[in-house]
Amino acid sequence: MTGWIRIAGLGPGHPDLVTPEVSAALAQATDVVGYIPYVARIPARDGLTLHASDNRVEIDRSRHALQMAAEGRRVVVVSSGDPGVFAMAAAVYEAVESGPPEWRDLDISVLPGITAMLAAAARAGAPLGHDFCAINLSDNLKPWPLIEKRLRLAAEADFAMAFYNPRSKSRPRGFGRALDILRDACGPQRPILFARAVSTPGETLTVTTLGAATSDMADMRTVVLVGSSATRVIDRAGAPIVYTPRSVSQ
């Protein structure tokens, strides 16, 4: 049997947001590898082995997947959202680069998924309708001063911004510091969206301003979107519409 690896994005949570391409790969797989809560989303079936592991062993997980593929297994490495956005695609290729030469000849491909950032933007309206950037606020794999530098430069460039991994139990203070930087750079009236567990039964969306935002409004299941200076909020009955126009005034 010829082995392969598919690095797949499971989307933000709802089964309808898993792409047909990903579903087809999962149907053919002999093994699924990933972080515990993502693997838990895969139904058990005969002929499929689920390999769930902790959040901080991405390279070990990738090596395990690559070795199984080298032995002829059909392996799907799962991430939430899109596997190329702060997820497993980069980890697998890092393992390929540092691993045995024969891993470079394996059949490996990335199957895109719908990111939490895009799902949250769709729920709110179109806050990423013009230029934007995405920043991972976790300092587990990069130093906090670099995060602060990128926050300031993104604010100076007047991007709309999407923030992943804003706050966790082990990192309770970083997001508060990020909000202080953004308030200083953008002012208190800039719109900010907190989208938690998008597309799941526990989904919540909160639209407010940087001046009113507090760090406890986010956790690891929250993606945070901050508008640019052009972002508009349309008040209406129910949830407001947040959008950023496609044109920029000269």
Instruction: Provide the CB-side half-sphere exposure for 97 (13 A, CA).
Output: 7
Could you give phi then psi for residue 160, rounded to 5 degrees? Answer: -65, 150
- Same domain, yes or no: 134 and 110: no
40-60 residue pLDDT tens? 999 999 999 999 998 789 999
- Same domain, yes or no: 40 and 108: yes
List of residues 6+ apart from 162 with CB closer than 8 A: 117, 120, 121, 128, 132, 133, 134, 135, 223, 224, 225, 226
With tokens 């838990």, the residue in question is 40
- Same domain, yes or no: 74 and 144: no
Give dist(CA 244, CA 169) in Å, integer: 32
* Nearest alpha carbon to residue 44 among 26, 19, 18: 26
- Same domain, yes or no: 155 and 74: no
Report if residue 109 sits inside a domain.
Answer: yes
Report if residue 102 sits inside a domain.
Answer: yes
> Has residue 23 got a pLDDT over 90?
yes
Secondary element (H or E) of residue 239: none
- Same domain, yes or no: 97 and 131: no
Domain's final residue, options 83, 114, 145 = 114
Average of per-residue pLDDT across 94-108:
97
35: tokens are 């972080």
With tokens 């390999």, the residue in question is 51
206: tokens are 């909160």
Report if residue 149 sits inside a domain.
Answer: yes
145: tokens are 């001063």
Report if residue 146 sits inside a domain.
Answer: yes
Report if residue 248 sits inside a domain.
Answer: no
- Kindly give the residue spans of alpha helices, DSSP state H, lying in the chain: 20-28, 36-39, 58-70, 88-98, 116-124, 144-156, 174-186
> Has residue 247 got a pLDDT over 90?
no
- Same domain, yes or no: 201 and 157: yes
Task: Provide the pairing of β-strand 49-53 with 125-126.
Answer: unpaired
- Same domain, yes or no: 135 and 234: yes
Q: At 250, is the pLDDT very low, low, confident or very high (cuts 50, 70, 90)?
A: low
Report if residue 249 sits inside a domain.
Answer: no
Report if residue 250 sits inside a domain.
Answer: no
- What per-residue confidence (pLDDT) applies to 230? 96
Domain's final residue, options 114, 143, 167 = 114
Give dist(CA 183, CA 65) in Å, integer: 43
Domain's final residue, options 114, 147, 179 = 114
CA distances from 178 to 57, 93, 152, 188 (A): 27, 30, 9, 13
- Same domain, yes or no: 33 and 143: no
pTM tops 0.85: yes
Report if residue 53 sits inside a domain.
Answer: yes
- Same domain, yes or no: 46 and 155: no
Q: Count structural domains, the chain.
A: 2
Rounded to 5°, the CA angle 43-48-53 comes to 75
Average of per-residue pLDDT across 90-95:
98
- Same domain, yes or no: 139 and 186: yes
- Same domain, yes or no: 97 and 167: no
Output the domain CATH number for residue 236: 3.30.950.10
Mean pLDDT of the chain, nearest integer? 95
DSSP state of 172: S
Report the share of the chain in percent with pLDDT over 90.
90
Domain extent at residue 138:
117-243
- Same domain, yes or no: 132 and 218: yes
Q: How many residues does the chain have?
A: 250
> Has residue 201 got a pLDDT over 70?
yes
Output the domain CATH number for residue 58: 3.40.1010.10
